[in-house]
Every structure is written in C-alpha cells, then in structure tokens.
Amino acid sequence: MGRSPPSRTLGELTFAEISRYLKETSILCLPVGAIEQHGLHLPLNTDVVVAEELTRRIVARWGNDLDLWQLPTVAISLSREHDWAPGTMCLTLESFIALLEDIAREIVRALPARNLVIVNGHGGNRGILENLVRELHGDCGINACVIHPLDLSKAERTSKSPDVHGGEGETSMMLALAPHLVRRDQIGRTKEPLDQKAIEALVFDRGTTWPWRTDDPRLAARGVIGDAHAASSEFGERIVDSIVAEVRPVLDRLLENQRLARGAGDAKALAQPADRGAPAAPRRRRRALRARTSTHSGNRPRPRPPGRS
Ligand SMILES: [Zn+2]
C-alpha cells in the first residue's frame, strides 16, 4: 500500500485512490442514524450525530492499524415509535431493508472491500439489522456485523432510572460530541417517567415484544424515557472512549471471521468440486448476477455466489 491515504472518509477519495488503497480485507464502517424526536433538549438528528461522530472516532483510532473506511451516513431509518412528534421521519421496513441491500450490492460492485461494520445509532433499527447482517453475508458475500454503541459501552451510569431515549446516556454523548446542539435550559423541563413497572414490562421484557411508543404517558415524559438531569459531558466522553476501546476486539473478530470463511470456502471447493448446490431462489439469483457485475473482480476474489445457479 505504501503511502498513507489522504483521507479515510470514502467520499473524499478519488476513484483512482479507491483502487490504490482499498483491499478485500479493508473494513467499511457505515453509520446509521435516525431523524426523530429526542425530547425538548436534543435535536432530531441526535442519532445521526452519535453514529457519525462515533464512526469518525473509531476510524481515527483504529483506521491505520486495521484499514478502516467511513461510508456516507444513512440518516433516516425506523422511527415509528416517535412518529407522533413533528419532524420525526421514517422509512418503511421495506424501504429500509431495500436501501441497505442496495448499499451492500453497491459495495460489492464498486469496492474491493468485503468487511462491513454497521454503527447503529438508533435502537429501533436493532431487530431488522440483526437479521440483515445474515442476509448480507449469505446473499452478497459481505462479512458484516452491527454494533450498538450504548450497549457496547462499559462506562458506569450514575442514574438508577431506565435509560431508553433522550436520557442520561444519549444526552451525555451529545454534550461530548456536539454540545452546541443541546438545549441545556430545556433539560429541566423533562421529568422522570411515572411508571417504572410499565417500562420494565413494555420495553425491557425479553419474553414479549410490544409496540411501545414515546407518546405513552406511562413510559415517557415529553418524549424522553430516562434521566437527562444526570447527563454530563464528562460521562459522555467516558462512554465514547469506552465504545472506541470496546470496538477493537469486534474488529479483530470480524477479520478473523473473514479469514475463517475464506479458508472454509477453499476447503469446501476442494472437497466438492462437482456440487453446484440447490437451485437459487429467483430473488437470490438476481442478486448473484448483480454481484457478479463487480467492477472490482480483477485479480481479487469474487463475492461468494449465493445459492449458486
Ligand atoms: Zn436516539
């Protein structure tokens, strides 16, 4: 590779630099945010700022060691639980899935890199993304994982109240990452939710999934579920530092998975040279065909043909 790249933000490279610097083992980092209400004290783009800034810090910290690249942010996602509030904007499930699948296909077509870390800034995307990374692996040959930053952080909270939305964690991160966007004078106007039992049952119970919303007066006060009073920029910095540190073993694991998958693929090909597998479903066959149109086939390994046809 030689000289270090002029930038690790993908969109700031030229097309010639893509070919010069990116490899199959490069790791692409995709921030996924949301445009949704975050109470009276935080802006609609809180999840965008958090996902994007965290990605920037992760790439700054580990980029040269592990060859990380920051992709453009997906800024609108799945925010139905907040759609009572002006300004909240949502994609449908179908559009969100299609958007991410299209991005995955474009990665395969336009870039040599086959590793992807989705930095998920919005908890409401979690269920879909967990399923989607399996599809990206199976259908596009992309070695992917999703990180959920606040769950990855090991920084100890001070408040005892549940921290779901616009509370101690998110407000602290915004105080650390974009303090000019926090309406500090409005923090005092949010108050504790009334019904902790309802929060336990509707939000946190792993045995049942509920379509909970932030206009439910049992759960939220002015759109917030959590204690924003307890927030501080110092705690926000501790969260951010912890996430950046905790991401390192995730990145190592991702690369290990890629190494193992390539080894397993080679062994399988050697063991079963005549086995062409089951016929692919039409949707998968289309994807496979598109994946094969990669402009980055060259001497680099092609994406694993899904289902084989
Ligand atoms: Zn948020």
d(CA 289, CA 273): 21
Asked whether residue 3 is assigned to any structural domain, the reply reads no
Asked whether residue 98 is assigned to any structural domain, the reply reads yes
Asked whether residue 284 is assigned to any structural domain, the reply reads no
Asked whether residue 174 is assigned to any structural domain, the reply reads yes
Q: How far is the CA of 215 from the centre of ligand 1 (A)?
A: 15
Q: What is the pLDDT of residue 3?
A: 75
Q: Is 210 left (phi over 0), alpha (psi -120 to 50) or beta?
A: beta
Q: How far is the CA of 34 from the centre of ligand 1 (A)?
A: 7
Q: What is the pLDDT of residue 101?
A: 96
Q: Which domain holds residue 92?
A: 21-270
Asked whether residue 297 is assigned to any structural domain, the reply reads no
Asked whether residue 302 is assigned to any structural domain, the reply reads no
Please indicate, yes or no, whether the overall pTM of this predicted structure exceeds 0.75.
yes
Q: What is the pLDDT of residue 286?
A: 45
Q: How far is the CA of 137 from the centre of ligand 1 (A)?
A: 27
Q: How far is the CA of 245 from the centre of ligand 1 (A)?
A: 21
Q: Write the DSSP assignment of 107-167 as a string of letters.
A: HHHH-S--EEEEEE--GGGHHHHHHHHHHHHHHH--EEEEE-HHHH--PPPS--S---BSS
Task: Domain count for the chain, please give it.
Answer: 1
Q: What is the pLDDT of residue 2?
A: 59
| pLDDT, block means (10 residues), the chain with 309 residues | 85 98 98 97 98 98 98 98 98 98 97 98 96 92 96 89 92 98 85 80 94 94 92 97 98 97 74 48 45 43 39
Asked whether residue 1 is assigned to any structural domain, the reply reads no
CATH number at residue 99: 3.40.50.10310
Q: What is the pLDDT of residue 175?
A: 98
Q: How far is the CA of 109 from the centre of ligand 1 (A)?
A: 32
Tokens of 232: 């501080």
Asked whether residue 78 is assigned to any structural domain, the reply reads yes
Q: How far is the CA of 21 from the centre of ligand 1 (A)?
A: 34
